[in-house]
A and B are shown apart, each in its own frame.
Chain A
Amino acid sequence: KQEVTQIPAALSVPEGENLVLNCSFTDSAIYNLQWFRQDPGKGLTSLLLIQSSQREQTSGRLNASLDKSSGRSTLYIAASQPGDSATYLCATWAGAGSYQLTFGKGTKLSVIP
């Protein structure tokens, strides 16, 4: 059974700092990995999708990498802003007839002005 872990559980950084959020998963036979942002009491906003054939994806100040062999993904946020404060979730999709996403518990990011 896939287990997804995100470390740290919480992170506080000053505005402008670059930062890395980590995601690890136990079963490397994934089809893709998706990063989400969740604001308090709100839904999940898809940030980046990395297909199994890709090693990274970029969107604006966000860059996500995927290393299936080591069971790891990282989300890099450049020049952090207070508006980046949220919980960041990663989720894996096994494919091969399975449709469910398996989520980590998230990293709660606070960017201090």
Chain B
Amino acid sequence: EPEVTQTPSHQVTQMGQEVILRCVPISNHLYFYWYRQILGQKVEFLVSFYNNEISEKSEIFDDQFSVERPDGSNFTLKIRSTKLEDSAMYFCASSQNNEQFFGPGTRLTVL
């Protein structure tokens, strides 16, 4: 069964460093998303992406964040200068007919 994949599974970085989280959405899906979940809290929406542009973003998705679809399969989330509060589980998702399918997540730890 097709699934969303994410790499790496765990990323440790120093505060102020740039990180890139990678996702491969399900191949025939057209909508892509990033969400995050801080430990013990709700899953929060960050951004949605369609037709090579951002379709919606939350207040969390400030200028430190960017997304890109560099080729026909990958979808990336970049955090330019990480902060301690960026430590969270980051989930990529994709959808075709309204149902969103999530990847296993990348646990980002900022020291």
Q: Which residues of A contact B (CB under 8 A)?
A: 31-32, 34, 36, 41-46, 49, 51, 89, 91, 93, 97-106
**B105 proximity list for chain A (CB < 8 A):** 42-43
Give chain B nearest CB distance to A104 CB in angstroms: 7
Tell which of B14-22, B39-47, B63-71, B72-80 binds the partner: B39-47
Q: Which residues of B contact A (CB under 8 A)?
A: 4, 31, 33, 35, 41-45, 48, 50, 55-56, 58, 91, 98-105, 107
Q: Given A43-B91, A100-B58 in contact, is the A31-B45 Cβ separation under 8 Å? A: no
CA distance A70 to B103 in the complex (A): 32
A100 contacts B99, C-beta separation under 8 Å? no
**A32 proximity list for chain B (CB < 8 A):** 98
**A104 proximity list for chain B (CB < 8 A):** 42
B100 contacts A46, C-beta separation under 8 Å? yes
**A100 proximity list for chain B (CB < 8 A):** 33, 45, 48, 56, 58
B104 contacts A43, C-beta separation under 8 Å? yes
CA distance A97 to B101 in the complex (A): 19
Give chain A nearest CB distance to B60 CB in angstroms: 11
Q: Given A43-B104, A99-B31 in contact, is the A34-B43 Cβ separation under 8 Å? A: no
Could you say which of A31, A89, A99 contacts B43, with CB atoms under 8 Å apart? A89
Q: Given A99-B33, A99-B48, A103-B42 in contact, is the A43-B102 Cβ separation under 8 Å? A: yes
B55 contacts A46, C-beta separation under 8 Å? no
B100 contacts A101, C-beta separation under 8 Å? yes
